[in-house]
Amino acid sequence: MNASCSFCGNKNIRNVKVQYIYRHDGQLLIVNGVPCEQCEYCGEQYFKAEVLKKIESDFNQVYTHRKKADREIRVPVEQYA
């Protein structure tokens, strides 16, 4: 997709699968095994538009209860003090 990293200009981009955390209105969806292209130098990640659309669609389906997530985790939240 990218001939070189638009962040640092490095040309070594590899295909990897990563964990993507989608955030919207304070709600989260964690998706594992998401394909992306990652810069080997700075670690910048590039996702295809259709991949992000699919995650957004899954997020909406999970939060409107049209789809059940594979599993759910409890996430502690605290204020830095």
Does position 8 bind Zn ion by CB under 5 A? yes
Roughly how many angstroms between the first and final C-alpha of the chain, as a whole number? 43
Report the distance separating Cα 61 and Cα 33, nearest Å: 19
Least Cβ distance, residue 48 to Zn ion (angstroms) = 17
Report the distance separating Cα 81 and Cα 76, nearest Å: 15
Report the distance separating Cα 52 and Cα 20, nearest Å: 9
Does position 60 bind Zn ion by CB under 5 A? no
Least Cβ distance, residue 77 to Zn ion (angstroms) = 32
Cβ-based nearer residue to Zn ion, 15 or 64: 15
Cβ-based nearer residue to Zn ion, 37 or 44: 44
Query: To which residue do tokens 């939060």 refer?
Result: 63
Q: Residues interacting with Zn ion, by CB under 5 A?
A: 5, 7-8, 10, 39, 41-42, 44
